[in-house]
Chains A and B, each alone.
Chain A
Amino acid sequence: KQEVTQIPAALSVPEGENLVLNCSFTDSAIYNLQWFRQDPGKGLTSLLLIQSSQREQTSGRLNASLDKSSGRSTLYIAASQPGDSATYLCAVRPNSGYALNFGKGTSLLVTP
């Protein structure tokens, strides 16, 4: 059974800092990996999707990397802003089936 772990569970940084969120998964037989943002009491916003054949994806200040063989992904946020404060979820889709396996998320607080 695929297990997805996110470290740290919570993170607080001052505005302007660069930061890295970590995601690890136990089964490397994945179809893709996706990073989401969730604001309190809200649904999910997809940030980046990395196919299993890819090593990284970039969107603006966000960069996600994938090392499938070691079961790891990182989400790098450059020049953090208070508006980046949210919970960031990592989810993997297995090779078989479409359902996503989610980590518990990292709660990020960026202070002005």
Chain B
Amino acid sequence: GAVVSQHPSRVICKSGTSVKIECRSLDFQATTMFWYRQFPKQSLMLMATSNEGSKATYEQGVEKDKFLINHASLTLSTLTVTSAHPEDSSFYICSASSEGDTQYFGPGTRLTVL
């Protein structure tokens, strides 16, 4: 089956630093990748949708200058949290799909900002 990986699985950083999270589709070409955020006891909330080679589309309330998304190839998308603050601490999950087909989810990245 389709496999999506994320790296790192867990990251702890100091307030004010930037953190990059990678999302890779290992055995298929992902024309579209999605980034979700999940706070404790809450649902997954879509942050942005990215299509390979295009600028990401951000959901309302998500700061595009703070959460930089790059989808430069059909197998890799990155999410960079710039100048991270404690309120950005969350579980970030990506998903990938090919030609609008089923979304396959990565294992998630736990971000803790001190």
Interface residues of A (CB under 8 A from B): 4, 36, 41-44, 46, 49, 89, 91, 97-105
Contacts and interface: CB of A to CB of B under 8 A. Distances in A.
Interface of B: 6, 32, 34, 36, 41-46, 49, 91, 93, 95, 97, 100, 102-108, 110
A43 B107 contact: yes
A104 B95 CA distance: 18
Given A98-B34, A98-B97, A98-B100, A43 B105 contact: yes
Closest 7 CB pairs of A and B: A43-B107, A44-B105, A102-B43, A102-B44, A104-B43, A43-B108, A99-B46
Contacts of A98: 32, 34, 49, 97, 100, 103
A9 to B, nearest CB: 9
A8 to B, nearest CB: 14
Contacts of B45: 102
Contacts of A101: 46
A41 B44 CA distance: 13
Nearest to B100: A98
18 contacts: A41-B108, A41-B110, A43-B6, A43-B108, A44-B44, A49-B102, A89-B44, A91-B44, A98-B32, A98-B49, A99-B34, A100-B44, A100-B95, A101-B46, A102-B36, A102-B44, A104-B41, A104-B42
